Homo-oligomer: A and B are copies of this chain.
Amino acid sequence: MAPPEGMSPLEYLTAIEAIKQLKARYFYGYDHKDWAFWRDQVWAPDGRLEVPEMGQDIAPREAMIEWVIERSMKQVSVHHGHTPIIEITSPTTATGIWAMEDRIYRDRDHPDYKDAARILGFGHYRERYVKLDIGWRILSTRLTRLRTIYERVF
């Protein structure tokens, strides 16, 4: 890990902290279901979300957010991110890998409630970031899981 060409060590550290807070807003907006915040403060216009285990690969931002909202209705979600490995590849581009844990608690009237009232997952996000005029935004994220536990209703 080192600054790319055209960035000072101070600009490099500033970019890393900005990307950490960007991902913090991702989690905050998602779990508070604050979709206007999530759209404007987190994603680049051509943002892409990939979840291979669900066969999902959606872009751009508007279609992707619609899909997330649809899936997130009638559930409480908890997403936590850990120990990012962030690489600044140029003054306006970067990549990151985040360890993650997520928990989904579905409402009783959720269409998939009987299949899994609670889901507990552990995995990693692999992401690309871009610096726009308004600041760093997520360009793409790809979520894979090491383990997923589905708990049915008992």
A residues neighboring B (CB under 8 Å) = 1, 9-10, 13-14, 16-18, 20-21, 23-25, 27-28, 31, 76, 78, 80-86, 97, 99, 101, 103, 105, 122, 124, 146-147
Contacts and interface: CB of A to CB of B under 8 A. Distances in A.
Contact of A99 (B16, B27, B105, B146): B27
Q: Which 8 A-B pairs have the closest CB atoms?
A: A24-B83, A78-B122, A80-B82, A24-B85, A76-B147, A81-B83, A27-B83, A1-B21
B82 A27 contact: yes
A82 B20 CA distance: 11
Given A16-B17, A76-B147, A80-B83, 5 more contacts: A10-B10, A10-B13, A28-B124, A80-B101, A82-B82
Contact of A9 (B10, B82, B124, B147): B10
A25 B122 contact: no
A106 to B, nearest CB: 12
